[in-house]
Each structure stands twice: as C-alpha cells, then as structure tokens.
Structure 1
C-alpha cells in the first residue's frame, strides 16, 4: 500500500488540526532571540534533517493543495498515475510560482508548530489557476483561549535564492496595509469557512466577523510575522528590519536558510507529486 493510502486516516482537513506532522524540530537547528514583543528565529538545516522529514514534507505539501483523504480516494478510484495527474493540476509548474508557494506552506507550518497559532485555511486549495498568485495575506493565524480576547497573526512569506532588501521592503509594505490589520477579504474568508462548520468553530467565525465589522482589534492583538526562506544566510538587511520594528504590536521575523534553495524546491514538488506506482 502506498504512503498516501497509509496516511489517509489522518485528518488533514482544511480546518482541523487534530493530527499534526512536525517538521522543523527534526529538520532544523534553531537560534532564537526573544525580547518584549519581538522574536527572531534563525533556522538552519541539521545534518540529515532534510532526509528525516522528506516524506512528511511531501504529505504536508499535498495537504495544502487538497484534502489528503480525497487524494487517497483518487488513488483508489483512478490509480496512481491519474491521481498524480489530478494533483498536478493544482500545483504550479513554474519555478517562480513553486518558490513562492512552498515558502507560504513552510511559513504556515512553522507558525503552527513553533509559534502557537492555528492557521484555519490552507488557502492554496482555493486558487483560481495553477500559476496564479493569490491576493490578500499569505497566512492568517489565530490564538483563541477562552479567557482571553482572540489574537491574530498577519503573515507574509518570501522565498528567494538570495534574500535582499527589496523583498524585505515589499513584505513590510504588505504587512502595513489596512493599518496593520489582516486584509478584510482574507480574514472574512477565514471566518466564513469556520462558520460553515457549525458548533464552536461557527461561534469563533461569528466573533471574528464581528471584530472585522467594528474594527475592534487593537494592534497588540495582531502579530506581524515575516517569514523568509533563502539560499543565503540571514542577511544584515533582515536583522536591521527586525531591530527597526515598532513596539506597538508583536513582531516575529523568521529566516530559514536552505543553501541549495532552487534544487530543494524542485525536488520537494517532484516528491509531493509522486504518489506511487501501479
């Protein structure tokens, strides 16, 4: 039985985190700097770390484009070849689009695994076209503790062979839009998907909609997260950016160094598309 069928029972639905597949603890070494409302995370691959998480990363990538149980059903109904072709219709082919989307996937997984947020919507499932970039925030995270007001993460990801000042500036401009709040269209999309579920998720979605309508979320309840994966070591420009972030809200700057950046992206998509053999 192929790997995709063995994991079909895991719940990788868009809105449920009852099962998780940790990546970064096995894959990377962490160097963290945390002070006040600011945190800087520098990640580098461990020796052998990439091989250790290769299968898990492939599964996670698939789950961002489609529900894993549906992919398993495709394998059962159509066979490996046609199921792979169907999955390929959702994944980009161009190197640029693949770079950006893998950056978004890694950012989403890291903020859930390491920063304590839940990212309810895997938004790559909702693209208008395989090569089309999605508008709005790259990811929106939520922390919802019963005794506290809802906290949000507004995130922007960048993936570059060489990370430089222009990409960092672009990320900051996006994070600053809408007075630093999550883009209304993006956050309402999250709220609507939660409301579709009923129960406690519906209540959470309703609460989010109410806050969007009243613009009631204070800056200190919205963390800005700038995630970057690149082939170069963390550049001084990103360290300077971190130092310059204001104190009116929480900030996280995260950099993942992958020296063979472009080869890594190519190999990751190839593995994610390889469901098995007839």
Structure 2
C-alpha cells in the first residue's frame, strides 16, 4: 500500500476530466505512516544512500547534523517545502505521473523558497514517444483562503497553461546528466518540447494541491468547478487539523536518524 492509502481517507468527486480529491487523516493513519513519512521527507533533501554513507563514516550523530543543515527550521519554509513534497508524492501515487527530480536537493539555502513550477510530473511511453506532463502548484497554509487559491490558479494558467520553460529545462538537464539512458532520452524529449512547444493542451495536466488545517473551503470547490474542460485537472485538499504541530512533528522525524 502507498503512503496516502495507509494514511488518509479519500473523498470528493470526479466529472469527466476533472477530479476533486479530499483527503483526511484516518484515526490511526498518522501513526501508521510517521516513520515512512519522515524517511520520505528526508529523501527529498538528500539521497538516502548518501545519508547511509554518512552514518557509516561518521556515526549517527554527525550524519544527522549534516542532514539537519539541509532541513528548514522556520515554519513558513517548512510549510512550503512540505507542501511540495507531499504534492510530489501524491502525483506519483495517485495521478500516475513520475516526478523525476527532487527539487529540495538543489536549494541554495534551507529557508529559501525555490522558483518555478512547484512540481512537474512526467508520463512517457517509449512505444510512441508519447510525452505527457503534469504542471503542479502547491499551497500549504494553516488557514486556506480564496486569495491563496486564486494565486495558485493564476500560476497554473501562466505561460498559456504550459510548464514554465525554465522549470522544464531544469528537469531536462538533470535527466540528461543521469547515467540512465532512458532518463537521457526523456531529458532530450523535454528539451525539444521547450524549443518547439508542440505538446497539445490535453497532454498537459494541471494539479492544485493544498494542505491546511481548515479543510476544504468554498473557494476550492469553486476553483474546481471553474476549471476549463480542455485538459485534465485535479484539485486536492489534505486536511490536517493540528497543522502547526504536524509540521514540527514531521521535520523532527525527518531529522532523526536514531542511534543504531
């Protein structure tokens, strides 16, 4: 079972190409996934094998000290990062997209927000060179409001609804630097898309992911209803009642490597 399958109950609705996904924590869901969720968050900031190598070379305490230099400490930074991380994991588990690049590994300051599209998903079938992209925006707020949703939708609609070129190039460059020939081919295909912009509208999905303590609000439902019919849209709310405590708990778990 996946992270969200073990953690959350699912609700919402689907109308044609549009899906409204409401997630609430199961009674014992958080306890069931806490250790795995901490490891998942950790993996977005550094490769797990590198962390394991740090443990082998330096011991648990010093390895944890290295890891914590990457993890944000301020509530706003944690909120933004965790929203993107959870959105990326959801895209892979529930939307059938691969999010090939873990953006947090490339931050030049642990409290500094990254620019560009919050998450980009890729679906690719080698049989027909079929590229399908997911453009995603993530908003993490203790109290979700209409203004935040409006900002997110404006970002999704920017660049005529296409993934921003600089964000696509970042993904493509990392893929082309990979030793995996399939990743290299995918990176080349994405660079070609940046140059030619030939991918049809219906092959660029949109996802709006929200994490909040006040649950789904009327403005989120209205955003879902108003999305155009020319592409697939997913609008998501993950409701976490003790939002601030949740942020602290997850980053405490992510930074704890134990003692062997």
Note whether the superposition's TM-score is higher than 0.5.
yes
Partners of 2:231 and 2:18 lie apart in 1 by 9
Deviation, 1:37, is: 1.3
- Runs of 4+ off more than 6 Å: none
Tell whether 2:82 aligns with 1:102: yes
Partners of 1:215 and 1:145 lie apart in 2 by 19
Which of the residues 83, 97, 112 maps onto 2:63? 83
Partners of 2:12 and 2:184 lie apart in 1 by 36
Which of the residues 117, 121, 138 maps onto 1:157? 138
Partners of 1:177 and 1:128 lie apart in 2 by 25
Match in the other structure for 1:217: 199
Deviation, 1:22, is: 2.3
Partners of 2:223 and 2:127 lie apart in 1 by 33
Which of the residues 117, 120, 126 maps onto 2:97? 117
State the SS of the aligned residue for 2:99: coil
Match in the other structure for 2:172: 191
Match in the other structure for 1:255: 237
Match in the other structure for 1:11: none
Match in the other structure for 2:215: 233
| Structural mapping, 1:44-55, within 5 Å | 44-55=24-35
Q: C-alpha root-mean-square deviation of aligned residues, in Å?
A: 1.2
Deviation, 1:147, is: 4.2
State the SS of the aligned residue for 1:232: coil
Match in the other structure for 1:143: 123
Deviation, 1:134, is: 0.3
Partners of 1:226 and 1:95 lie apart in 2 by 21
Tell whether 2:254 aligns with 1:272: yes
Deviation, 1:32, is: 3.6
Which of the residues 37, 40, 56 maps onto 2:20? 40
Match in the other structure for 1:126: 106
State the SS of the aligned residue for 1:177: helix
Structure 2, unmatched stretches of 5+, are none
State the SS of the aligned residue for 1:144: strand
Match in the other structure for 1:169: 150
Deviation, 1:277, is: 2.6
Match in the other structure for 1:180: 161
Please report the TM-score for the alignment, with normalisation by the length of structure 2: 0.96
Match in the other structure for 2:49: 69
Please report the TM-score for the alignment, with normalisation by the length of structure 1: 0.90
State the SS of the aligned residue for 1:125: helix
Partners of 1:184 and 1:210 lie apart in 2 by 11
Partners of 2:97 and 2:194 lie apart in 1 by 19
Match in the other structure for 1:26: 6
Tell whether 2:56 aligns with 1:56: no
Deviation, 1:146, is: 3.0
Partners of 1:121 and 1:200 lie apart in 2 by 14
Structure 1, unmatched stretches of 5+, are 1-20
State the SS of the aligned residue for 2:157: helix
Match in the other structure for 1:7: none
